[in-house]
Structures are given as C-alpha cells and as structure tokens.
Amino acid sequence: MKNLRSSYTTGACAAAGVKAALILLTTGTVVETVDITALDGTPLTIPVARVEKLDGGARAEVIKFSGDDPDITNGASVFTTVRKIFGNDIIFRAGIGVGHVTKPGLQLPVGEPAINPAPRKMIQSVAAEFNVDGLEVEISIPAGVELAKRTLNPVLGVEGGLSIIGTTGVLRPMSEDAFKNSLVPQIDVAKAAGFSELIFVPGKIGETIARRIGFPEGAIIQTSNFIGFMLEAASERDVAKVILCGHIGKLAKVAAGVFHTHNRVADCRLETLAAYAAAEGLPAREVQKILDANTAEDAAQIIAANHLERVYKKIAARASLRAERYVYGKLKVNTILVDYAGKILGTDND
C-alpha cells in the first residue's frame, strides 16, 4: 500500500511566512526554509520561495504544497506581510484572495478576516519567539479569489476569497472524517441566521429544486453522501426539522436504511424501487425489469409506464421514518424525491 504524503496547511504557510519575514527584519538574513512547530507538536520544515523588505516591514512568499491531499490550494502562493506596530497586539488583515466573515455562526465574529483561530495561534507562537510586541500580519493568496468559488465559502458567508484554515498546521491526506466535518459549519451558520428548519440536499439536483420551491437560501445545506452524519450533527444542535430534498437514486437508499449514499458503500437503489413497486402491485416481470435497469431514472420510466407513481409517496414516507429513527426521534424529517429533469416525483407531505 502506498504511504500517502502529509504536508502543511495554509495556516502553517502563513506562520512560516511570518517567521521568514521576522528573521529578515531582526537579523537581515534571507532564509530559504524555516522550522516551525505545529499545534499538535509536529515539527515542520517549510520552504520559503521569497522574502523581501518593504517600507516598515517585510513580505514572504510560501508556495502551498498539499502532499497527497486533493487540496485546491496546492501550488498557490501564500504571501505574508508583517509590520511592527505600537502596542502589544497582533492585528490580522485579509489581503487579496483572503475573505472576510459576513455571517454569524463561524469561529470568528462578523467582519473579521477569515483567518481561523488555529492559524492565528501558530502565528502568535512564531511572534513570541522574536519577543515582538505589536505586529500587523496581512495574508494574501492572489489565486484565492477564483479558488474560493469552488468551496463552500459563499454559502458559509466568507466573501472575497479563501479562509486560512487548519486545526494543527499539519495537512494529512483528506480523510472522510475531515470532509464530513467541513460540511457541518453550514448548519451553524443557518442556525445563527435563525433557521430551525433546514433543507438537506445531497447534490445539485436537490439544491435546484429546493430553490425553485422557494426554500430560504440560508436554510439549504449540502450533505454530499453523508446524510446520516449530517442528521446527527443537526440533532446535536437542536434543529427542529429537516427536509430531505434530492434525487430518487440517493434518497431511495435512505428509505432502505442507508445513510452513507456513495455507490461504493451501498447501491440498493434498484432493489429498493423494485421492492416498493412490487408491494404496490407491480407484476413480477416488470419488477424484474426494474432490477435489470441501468439507473434509477430507467427504473422510474418502468414505474411510470405501469402508472404506479404513488409508490414515491411510500418511499418518501419511509425515508423520513428511517431518518427520524436514525437520530432517535430528536428531530422531524420530511422527504421530497425528484428526478434528473427537476420534476418532483413524490413527497410525504400531504
């Protein structure tokens, strides 16, 4: 088995840039690497692409290396500019490509640069090595303006660029848990905005339908394949109600009690549709056609040809029941089933 390479976060890049800049300001030395310690105690040696003096300060460039993690910032330049200021505080600034917080519910107050607490702590530790009192730290990622459009930042209320993230400074190849945890802040933001009823969508199809129905934008939550995990996160945060809105191929799995819906984990779409259609009177030969179908969309055509569209209401009701059981009745669940064309096939709402 291949050993996947770990690396360092954007927060660690920024901390390394601060150290390189402070070395230049205090000793006049231009360094090519710096050693810092991650918050979990891991020693990191980080290359520095460039460091230069500016009027009243210095700027360093560190190029993000993500190892074997599929991180969108891999290869992006992280620029850190430091200036000594009066006082005893470190003031953080967002340069080009680093966003600002515009919604409550995240780890930072509204209006703050999207530089998370862990990177700030790393930078504060670096500054302490140099006995620096007051310091202004500006972080820029020029590519971040475009890269942020490929993240959840616009949904979470981080505008203008990326967040400087990381919990320890060490970037390990993306685990499933890490990806799941990146989805949870959507719930916190929605709750902070006053929403107690959330719309869970496992993909773009459900999201499009949710918007068309008129559900509030701030209440629509992307779950990816991790419907069960997100239901648990919602129940832990005292969300009153969740509406599952998604493609029949995804949510039929929930009706069968499957809450991680990636097809490599469980693919019971056709079997579920066949079972429920059979229970509604579909002849055996037609049931076999569903089992032999290539996709849930193909199966839906067979159901439609036999005028059994009422089956979707049963599937929706079962998905809601299984979801409520999954979180031990801590929240109410309703379900909306749709197809690729954006048509609502069925719902358990009367």
What is the Cα–Cα distance from 230 to 101, expressed in whole angstroms? 23
Instruction: Identify the residue with better confidence: 325 or 42.
Output: 325
Give the strand pairing for 97-98 and 161-162: parallel
- Look at 155 and 18; give whichever has higher pLDDT: 18
The pLDDT, as a whole number, for residue 264 is 77
pLDDT of residue 2: 44
According to the model, what pLDDT value does residue 39 have? 87
Q: For helices 296-305 and 284-292, what crossing angle results, to 10°?
A: 160
> Tens of pLDDT along 157-188?
899 999 987 777 666 655 577 778 889 999 99
Render pLDDT for 237-294 as a digit per residue (tens, 0 to 9).
999 999 999 999 999 999 999 999 987 788 899 999 999 999 999 999 999 999 998 8
Q: Give the DSSP H or E segment for 21.
A: helix 10-27
- Of 186, 201, 194, 198, which is closest to residue 240 (Cα–Cα)? 198
Query: Which CATH class name applies to 7-171?
Result: alpha beta
pLDDT of 42 strictly over 90 = no
Tell me: pLDDT of 86 over 90.
Answer: no
Place of tokens 């680093």: 98
Question: Residues 21-46: what's their mean pLDDT?
Answer: 93
pLDDT (mean) for 16-35: 96
Comparing 269 with 6, the larger pLDDT belongs to 269
Long-range contacts formed by 270-274: CB under 8 A, 24+ apart: 270/296, 270/299, 272/315, 273/248, 273/299, 273/300, 273/303, 273/311, 273/315, 274/299
Rounded to 5°, the CA angle 68-157-168 comes to 40
For the chain, the domains span: 7-171, 176-347
pLDDT at 253: 96
The closest alpha carbon to 272, from 254, 260, 289, belongs to 254
Residue 240 half-sphere exposure toward CB, CA atoms < 13 A: 6
The yes-or-no verdict on residue 192 having pLDDT over 80 is yes
- Judged on CB neighbours under 10 Å (0-12, 13-18, 19+), 4 is exposed
At 79 the pLDDT is 98
- Predicted confidence at residue 34, as pLDDT, reads 95
**Which residue from 147, 129, 132 is spatially nearest to 36, judged by alpha carbons?**
129
Contact 20, 127 (CB under 8 A): no
The rounded mean pLDDT for the chain is 91
Tens of pLDDT, residue by residue over 217-228, are: 999 999 989 999
pLDDT band of residue 1 (cuts 50, 70, 90) is very low
Does the pLDDT value for residue 114 go beyond 90? yes
Q: Residue 253 and residue 264: Cα distance in Å, rounded?
A: 13
Out of 61-75, 88-102, 251-265, 269-283, which region has the weakest mean confidence (pLDDT)?
A: 61-75
Please state whether the predicted TM-score (pTM) of the whole model is above 0.75.
no
In the chain, % helix, strand, coil (3-state, to 5) comes to 40, 25, 35
pLDDT digits over 128-138, tens only? 999 887 899 99
